[in-house]
Amino acid sequence: MKQLPLPIVRLRPNAKPQVIRHGFPWVFANELVMDRRTKGLSHGGLVVLEDAERRPLGLGTINPTSKIAVRLLDKDPEAQVDAAWFATRFQRALDHRARLYDAPFYRLIHAEADGLPGVVIDRFGDVAVVQPNAAWAERQFDTLAAALADVTGCTTIIKNGTGRARSLEGLEEELTVAQGQAPDGPIAVPMNGATYMADVMGGQKTGLFFDQRPNHAFAAQLSKGGRVLDVFSHVGGFSLAALAAGAEAALAVDGSAAALDLAQRGAVATGVADRFETRTSDAFDALEALGKAKERFDVVVCDPPAFAPSKAALEKGMRAYERVARLATPLVKEGGYLVLCSCSHAADLKRFRDACARGIGKGGKRGQLVYTGFAGPDHPLMPQLAESGYLKALAFRV
């Protein structure tokens, strides 16, 4: 059946079409001709994008009420977004992950970088958790899910429609099992020699943060035979990897008792529960209390949530990162290591590094930067889109 002609949307004369031709995947609302017809287009519908001279730039999807008005899906303006189109992208993504990992536990789709703007998919064996964070993906979800199951063989597909990104697209929150059955409890995930417990139906985001995998591994190397403090630990990301690598002991601190319960269960599954301790507390309060108690650790890791999720929050976020570094620094033994992380899109590497250095200095120490890490290769970076390279991890010898 031949597809009906798609609506055409056009760049303003002062927009820069070469940016789109070179691979940038977004058109902002102020770059688009927003006449009455364009404003009336269906949210998440397909459109053909043209430059001001009416030359086609590709196939996109429109959301007239979003700051990101158009997301580019395909350079071919005549492409058909159907099951085969999704399957091609899923197979390409799967081929890459299969080269990297022996077991099917990874981020399968990392949004724009994997050719599916606004879509995140994490895989936990036969379970896939999909975050359709853009209006077009919400509309195409059934086709997307069917192609995902066909290509990967996943028998359970969970739709995790929660989070700030969906609200920016005008989408409602929902968490449903789209295919198969919900897992009977947390899923055991092998990673870096440890076993993590992922609550895919009730945990943060998709249930586990795969992006820190290489940084967990590096910090674990530093931790052998030492005492480790893992602050903002979630389900024990850094601490369990450290214990699996031979750390003497680890203390995990998080504000969520539920997350720490999963961390404790992971410690049992890993066989390191006798060396693992948890503390439910506000992270800043815990850092101050440990400092007053003169506690010292061979490795201190702080992996906070995004303190600077937007440019508007940037300065406040930088002060928060600096404060973390200032409070954590005195807890590190002489010659020990301080690992500081940021998942803030708005904070670039230099700005984050400078904030950490200031905090270490205000903490009364000097830091020797020995490692700079990013998200693992299952979180590919789209060079044209800085936001896809959000994660930074810095290890300082104090």
The answer to whether the CB of 180 falls within 8 A of the CB of 157 is: yes
Contacts of 164 (CB under 8 A, 6+ apart): 309
Q: Where in the sequence numbering do the catalytic residues fall?
A: 343
Q: Which residues of 226-260 are buried (b: 16+ CB within 10 A; e: fewer)?
A: bbbbbbbbbbbbbbbbbbbbebebbbbbbebeebb
The answer to whether the CB of 234 falls within 8 A of the CB of 254 is: yes
The answer to whether the CB of 148 falls within 8 A of the CB of 128 is: yes
First to last CA, the chain: 66
Q: What is the distance between the alpha carbons of residues 300 and 213, in angstroms, rounded to a whole number?
A: 17
Give me the half-sphere count of Cα atoms (radius 13 Å) on the Cβ side of residue 69: 21
Q: What is the distance between the alpha carbons of residues 268 and 262, in angstroms, rounded to a whole number?
A: 10
Q: What is the distance between the alpha carbons of residues 160 and 201, in angstroms, rounded to a whole number?
A: 8
Which strand ranges, in their side-by-side order, compose the sheet holding 56-62? Answer: 8-10, 45-50, 56-62, 68-74, 26-28
Closest to 9 measured CA to CA, from 23, 29, 170: 29
